[in-house]
């Protein structure tokens, strides 16, 4: 199979984690005789520095002519601490999502048994946790009208949803539920927000078309609590843009680290894959960031290409590193391995060159991955 992949390394740790994913995609290409062609593009703070725009036209053009997009991370403290900045790195990603029509963000939440003990949530709560968050990605308060009065004493962000936008993402969520445990939880704030009431009505009506799927409704404040207290109850969480943003970071603690979680942003004809973590500027260039969120995003890309066996092999390799304690600093502050070493180990597993009794001592010394 031949695929053109637009690669946007982005800011902070984005480039170094993305580099590990490319390593893995290349190992897969070798092993299964595929050809992946990569076109590197600018977006975010780096793009502002080099071109004056967080999303240069060339990036949009390359993305539009690619089969999929692999994206690292976005954000820079220079802008976070300057509320008056005219341009912001994040505008690049938001604009790209909108321009490419990436209306659904899929975030699978997995709690790997081998690292249950590293999650702040008790192990017995984590057994069997396996759900996905389907977050609407191109509407709501993120994209509503924004206003700041002249005196800078009043600001406004409008939250708008159309029935069409809700139905589009809801159909996708129902399809996911059908392929899983057949349960959807719509998370909203229908006791307060008009938009949430529209979501609820839309889902109630759609449910008739999906009689085999059980539908539950939950207010977002309660959902924030339930994700920690009883995460097993969820199969597919469907929610609007901002609630999904917040709840997916919260849900990431179940898995032990936000650094582990991948995501796919899906549109009608294009998809973008990115880890859900941010740019983690303090770690940039230090080779300490967790590359697994990005590598698992590359696995989601392989699934999207219908390369199921390849995707499963990447996941198996990732689980192998976790089960053997080859984890980065965010997961284990005492015994940890570098970003690139973890990337090497995942690659070696894919190339089938790792023996089961691998010598950790040698790896720590960067001597050899193989005994
Ligand atoms: C995410 C990020 C983005 C968002 C930012 C970087 C704009 O937090 O993908 O979750 O809020 O959607
Ligand atoms: Mn977020």
pLDDT above 70: percentage of residues in the chain: 95
Domain end, chosen from 199, 223, 255, is at: 255
Same domain, 214 and 124: yes
* CA 197–ligand 2 middle distance (angstroms): 24
The 10s digit of each residue's pLDDT in 184-231 is 999 999 999 999 999 999 999 999 999 999 999 999 999 999 999 999
The CATH code of the domain that includes 180 is: 3.40.718.10
- Give residue for tokens 């009065």: 149
Least confident of 71-75, 116-120, 181-185, 279-283: 116-120
- Residue pair 262/273 in contact (Cβ under 8 Å)? The answer is yes
Does position 46 have pLDDT exceeding 70, yes or no?
A: yes
Query: Quick one: which atom of ligand 1 is closest to the CA of 245?
Result: 10
Q: How far apart are CA 166 and CA 225, in angstroms?
A: 24
Q: How far apart are CA 36 and CA 228, in angstroms?
A: 39
Number of H helices, E strands in the chain: 14, 12
Same domain, 145 and 251: yes
Would you say residue 111 lies in a domain?
Answer: no
Domain end, chosen from 255, 285, 312, is at: 255
pLDDT at 6: 98
Residue 217 falls in the annotated catalytic set:
no
The 10s digit of each residue's pLDDT in 131-162 is 999 999 999 999 999 999 999 999 999 999 99
Domain enclosing residue 299, as ranges: 1-103+270-371
Same domain, 249 and 288: no
* CA 244–ligand 1 middle distance (angstroms): 10
- Residue pair 13/279 in contact (Cβ under 8 Å)? The answer is yes
Same domain, 226 and 295: no
Would you say residue 246 lies in a domain?
Answer: yes
The 10s digit of each residue's pLDDT in 338-357 is 999 999 999 999 998 665 55
Would you say residue 263 lies in a domain?
Answer: no
Q: Give the closest residue to 139 by CA, choosing from 160, 164, 153.
A: 160
Domain end, chosen from 255, 281, 299, is at: 255
Same domain, 250 and 135: yes
> Closest ligand to 96 CA?
1
Q: 3-state DSSP call for residue 107?
A: strand
Taking CB atoms and a 6 Å cutoff, what residues make up the pocket around ligand 1? Answer: 74-75, 90, 93-94, 245, 276
The 10s digit of each residue's pLDDT in 308-334 is 999 999 999 999 999 999 999 998 899
Q: How far apart are CA 290 and CA 288, in angstroms?
A: 7
**Residue whose CB lies within 8 A of the most ligand 1 atoms, among 94, 96, 281, for a mutation test:** 94
Average of per-residue pLDDT across 245-274: 94
Does position 296 have pLDDT exceeding 70, yes or no?
A: yes
Would you say residue 358 lies in a domain?
Answer: yes
- Residue pair 66/8 in contact (Cβ under 8 Å)? The answer is no
Same domain, 75 and 177: no
Would you say residue 311 lies in a domain?
Answer: yes
Would you say residue 219 lies in a domain?
Answer: yes
Cα separation of the two ends of the chain: 34
Residue 189 falls in the annotated catalytic set:
yes
Number of compact structural domains in the chain: 2
Can you spell out the DSSP letters for 280-317?
Answer: -GGGTTTT-S--HHHHHHHHHHHHHTT-HHHHHHHHHH
Residue 142 falls in the annotated catalytic set:
yes
Would you say residue 265 lies in a domain?
Answer: no
pTM as predicted? 0.93
Same domain, 228 and 159: yes
Q: Kindly name the residue from 80, 95, 183, 249 that is annotated as catalytic.
A: 249
Same domain, 226 and 302: no
Can you spell out the DSSP letters for 10-59?
Answer: ESTTHHHHHHHHHHHHHHHHHHHT-EEEEEE---SHHHHHHHSSSS-HHH
Same domain, 248 and 141: yes
Same domain, 241 and 301: no
- Give residue for tokens 């894959």: 273
**How many angstroms from the chain centroid is the CA of residue 271?**
12
Does position 367 have pLDDT exceeding 60, yes or no?
A: no
Would you say residue 110 lies in a domain?
Answer: no
> Using CA positions, which residue lies closest to atom 9 of ligand 1?
276
> Closest ligand to 246 CA?
2
Does position 53 have pLDDT exceeding 50, yes or no?
A: yes
């Amino acid at each position: 199979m031949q695929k053109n992949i637009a690669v946007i390394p982005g800011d902070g740790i984005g480039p170094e984690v993305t580099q590990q994913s490319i390593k893995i995609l290349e190992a897969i290409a070798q092993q299964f005789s595929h050809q992946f062609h990569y076109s590197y593009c600018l977006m975010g703070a780096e793009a502002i520095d080099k071109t004056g725009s967080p999303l240069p036209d060339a990036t949009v053009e390359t993305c539009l002519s690619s089969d999929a997009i692999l994206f690292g991370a976005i954000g820079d403290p220079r802008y976070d601490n300057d509320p008056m900045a005219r341009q912001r790195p994040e505008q690049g990603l938001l604009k790209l999502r909108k321009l490419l029509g990436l209306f659904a963000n899929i975030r699978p939440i997995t709690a790997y048994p081998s690292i249950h003990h590293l999650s702040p949530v008790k192990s017995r709560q984590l057994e069997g946790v396996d759900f996905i968050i389907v977050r609407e990605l191109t509407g709501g308060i993120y994209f509503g009208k924004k206003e700041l009065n002249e005196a800078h004493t009043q600001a406004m962000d409008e939250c708008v949803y159309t029935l069409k936008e809700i139905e589009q993402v809801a159909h996708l969520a129902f399809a996911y539920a059908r392929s899983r445990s057949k349960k959807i939880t719509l998370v909203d704030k229908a006791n307060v927000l008009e938009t949430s009431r529209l979501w609820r009505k839309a889902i109630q009506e759609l449910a008739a078309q999906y009689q085999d799927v059980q539908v539950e409704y939950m207010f977002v404040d309660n959902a924030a609590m339930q994700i920690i207290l009883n995460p097993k109850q969820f199969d597919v969480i469907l929610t609007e843009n901002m609630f999904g943003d917040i709840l997916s970071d919260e849900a990431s603690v179940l898995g032990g680290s936000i650094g582990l979680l991948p995501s796919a942003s899906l549109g009608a004809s294009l998809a973008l894959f990115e880890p859900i973590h941010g740019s983690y500027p303090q770690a940039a260039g230090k080779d300490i960031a967790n590359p697994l969120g990005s590598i698992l995003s590359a696995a989601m890309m392989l699934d999207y290409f219908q390369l199921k066996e390849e995707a499963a092999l990447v996941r198996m390799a990732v689980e192998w590193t976790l089960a053997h304690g080859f984890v980065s600093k965010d997961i284990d502050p005492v015994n940890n391995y570098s970003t690139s070493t973890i990337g090497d180990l995942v690659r070696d597993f894919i190339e089938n060159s790792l023996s089961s009794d691998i010598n950790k001592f040698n790896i720590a010394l960067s001597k050899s991955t193989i005994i």
